[in-house]
Amino acid sequence: MRERTGPPRLAIGCLLLPGSFFGGGMIGVGIAQIVDTVTGCKAASELPSCNTFPYFIGGGVLGAVVMIVLIQWRIRRRAGADAGTGLTQSKRS
């Protein structure tokens, strides 16, 4: 068994946590605007939608969790691929 080198797996996911949180939050606010259009809710002049913060927090948490899970899954899959399946990694990855 090869000794693993490089940064810890969880550190890579944690470095991408802020971007994935705010990216998911932006998607959540977009969904809130669609919901407001369908329901006919009128937002305050300084807010993009009626329920901006619940959708932003919900989308942010969902985006952060999904991104960390996908990153960890991809790293584990790549690390296990060269062990017994016969697959090799290219030099670029």
pLDDT at 24 over 80: yes
pLDDT at 45 over 90: no
Which H/E stretch holds residue 83?
helix 52-84
Write out the DSSP string of 9-72: HHHHHHHTHHHHHHHHHHHHHHHHHHHHHHHTPPPPTTSSSTTHHHHHHHHHHHHHHHHHHHHH
**% pLDDT > 70, the chain:** 74
pLDDT at 30 over 70: yes
C-alpha to C-alpha distances, 66 to 19, 21, 59, 91, nearest whole angstrom: 12, 10, 10, 28
